[in-house]
């Protein structure tokens, strides 16, 4: 029996309504011409915190607020922490965000700008998560996981519902894949509404924890590495409860991309789509540019690429564009 139902997803949507944007779904003429099928971009870049993470964070924080919670803590590669800080502030909660030294400075400062405490610890997302769990255990915070929590997954799943409502005949949805909260939620909702829709996960070659775990048949630990797709860094947790199994059961294909491909995705988004996006958000575009999606899959019908976030360090963005 599934731990999540479609009714749960619709309840999540009602709970976050007015706090999270219903984001645009726009066709890309350049990518449609390349793929020879309609290609649409789901622009989570317009969320108030600049990424899709606001959906899951807002739903989880709202549930905690219903229980009278006053202090929350999380671990983040940047976007989830920013989302938790934003959501918690609207409910009058105190927030601590644990982040590793690999998190870009712009994402650390964005968390602080929302009034949250940015607690830098260790050299990996796993280190940050261990500290967040310690604060939960020793200091009485309520923990808001970045992905492996049913309230977070339900919040992310609202994105899948939106896609199917706007484009009922979508045949392919391409989702950046990290810890699996977004993938699990979108894939679950999409396949509940339209069982034949194909779900492709895309991630970077450097330190792809979910890919390694799927290959091993169980959650495994990987070394986190610096990458343009920094939002996709970190492990999935050796005690993963939800996202590993959901991703394993719902994924139709998984694509790995190198750093040069991710850079090309960033450049294309800027020059052709007029979008400033982070590496993780450009990864679906990069997969199309690399012709990594099988021709047979593209022939099935329209493609949606989830453009997950805009929170790239502007100096890094400039270097990528200048180097192209």
- Mean pLDDT taken over the chain: 95
- Round to whole Å and give the CA distance between 292 and 253: 10
pLDDT at residue 1 tops 50: no
pLDDT at residue 321 tops 70: yes
CB neighbour burial string for 171-205, b if at least 16 within 10 angstroms, e if fewer: bbbbbbbbbbbbbbbbbbbbbbbbeebbbbbbbbe
pLDDT at residue 14 tops 90: yes
- Round to whole Å and give the CA distance between 177 and 256: 10
What value does the mean pLDDT take over residues 137-145? 94
The residue ranges of every structural domain in the chain are 6-52+149-323, 53-143
- Quote the pLDDT of residue 145: 93
The domain 6-52+149-323: what is its CATH number? 3.40.50.1100
Which phi-psi region, left, alpha or beta, contains residue 291 (left: φ > 0; alpha: ψ -120 to 50)? left
- Quote the pLDDT of residue 168: 97
Q: Would the CATH topology of 6-52+149-323 be identical to that of 53-143?
A: yes
pTM of the model: 0.94
What's the pLDDT band for 296 if we cut at 50, 70, 90? confident
Topology of domain 53-143 in CATH is: Rossmann fold (3.40.50)
- Quote the pLDDT of residue 210: 97
Contact 215/236 with Cβ under 8 angstroms? no
257 contacts: CB under 8 Å, gap ≥ 6? 202, 203, 204, 205, 265, 283, 286, 287, 290, 292
Query: Over pLDDT 90: what percentage of the chain?
Result: 90
- Quote the pLDDT of residue 234: 85
CA distances from 207 to 84, 138, 203 (A): 25, 31, 9
Q: 3-class DSSP state for residue 121?
A: coil
96 DSSP β-pair partners: 73, 117
**Residue pLDDT, tens place only, 199-249:** 999 999 999 999 999 999 999 999 888 899 999 988 899 999 999 999 999
Contact 232/177 with Cβ under 8 angstroms? yes
List, as one string, the DSSP characters of 130-182: HHHHHHHHHH-PEE--SSSSHHHHHHHHHHHHHHHHH-TT--EEEEE-SSSHH
Helix (H) or strand (E) holding 24: none
pLDDT at residue 285 tops 80: yes
DSSP designation for 185: H
Helix (H) or strand (E) holding 26: strand 25-27
């Amino acid at each position: 029996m599934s731990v999540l139902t479609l009714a749960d997803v619709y309840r999540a949507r009602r709970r976050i309504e007015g706090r999270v944007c219903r984001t645009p779904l726009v066709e890309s003429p350049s990518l449609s011409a390349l793929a020879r099928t309609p290609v649409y971009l789901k622009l989570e870049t317009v969320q108030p915190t600049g990424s899709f993470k606001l959906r899951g964070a807002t739903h989880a924080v709202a549930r905690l607020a219903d229980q009278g919670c006053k202090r929350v803590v999380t671990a983040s590669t940047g976007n989830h922490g920013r989302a938790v800080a934003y959501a918690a502030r609207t409910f009058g909660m105190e927030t601590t965000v644990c982040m590793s030294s690999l998190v870009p400075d712009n994402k650390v400062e964005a968390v602080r700008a929302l009034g949250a405490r940015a607690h830098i610890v260790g050299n990996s997302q796993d280190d940050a998560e261990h500290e967040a769990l310690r604060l939960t255990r020793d200091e009485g915070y309520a923990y808001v996981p970045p992905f492996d929590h049913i309230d977070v997954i339900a919040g992310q799943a609202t994105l899948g519902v939106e896609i199917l409502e706007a484009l009922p005949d979508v045949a392919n949805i391409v989702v950046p894949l990290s810890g699996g909260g977004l993938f699990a939620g979108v894939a679950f909702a999409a396949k509940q509404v339209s069982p034949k829709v194909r779900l492709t996960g895309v991630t970077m070659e450097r330190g792809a924890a979910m890919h390694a775990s799927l290959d091993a048949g169980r959650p495994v630990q990987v070394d986190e590495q610096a990458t343009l797709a920094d939002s996709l860094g970190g492990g999935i947790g050796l005690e993963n409860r939800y996202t590993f199994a959901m991703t394993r059961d719902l994924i139709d294909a998984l694509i790995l991309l190198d750093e040069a491909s991710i850079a090309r995705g960033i450049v294309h988004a800027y020059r052709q789509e007029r979008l400033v996006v982070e590496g993780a958000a450009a990864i679906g575009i990069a997969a199309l540019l690399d012709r990594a999606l099988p021709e047979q899959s593209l022939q099935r019908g329209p493609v949606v690429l989830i453009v997950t976030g805009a929170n790239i360090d502007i100096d890094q963005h400039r270097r990528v564009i200048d180097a192209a």
